[in-house]
Amino acid sequence: MQTMAKKRLLTRDYEIHASIKMLYPYIQTASGLAEWFADDVKINNQDKTYTFYWDNEEHKARLVAHRTNHYARFEFLPENADDEKDPGYFELRLEFNELTQSVFLKVSDYSDFDDLKELEDLWDSLVDTLRKIVGG
């Protein structure tokens, strides 16, 4: 009997020197996400499905929750029975710290990625790319 890898939640906070209004399109729009998060991102306007392309593989997700200038949460469409019961997702949340006047991108990644250190390194690299784009 094959056992599926158990999903785990990774959360990371990244300070980004840019305004929330400037950052929001990069976490919610297909064109913004394609600049730093995936090789390409397309939206099917009929069913509002986002297709993320990484290394010539496509992964479909739905924007299941968002609030303008605050956050976007994408839930991956199930690929097997385990995913049906426990779907993977990622959430990108923008937070402003009043005390330090800093903007943070809070990343939550709930997936069955095997190596958490490798996943942290991946997010670090993605956010570095985002910082270069926005100058922050």
Question: Residues 12-23: what's their mean pLDDT?
Answer: 96
Tokens of 124: 């670090």
Q: How confident is the model over 31-77, as pLDDT tens digits?
A: 999 999 999 999 998 888 999 999 999 999 999 999 999 999 999 99
Domain regions of the chain by residue span: 8-134
Residue 133: the pLDDT is: 96
Residue ranges of E strands in 2-136: 8-16, 40-44, 49-54, 57-67, 71-76, 89-97, 102-111
4 pLDDT above the threshold of 60: no
pTM over 0.95: no
Residue 9: the pLDDT is: 96
Residue 136: the pLDDT is: 75
- Please state, in angstroms and as integers, the Cα–Cα distance from residue 115 to each residue in 59, 65, 111, 118, following that order: 19, 27, 11, 5
Q: What is the dihedral of CA 124, 109, 51, 128, to 10 degrees?
A: -10
CATH superfamily membership of 8-134: START domain (3.30.530.20)
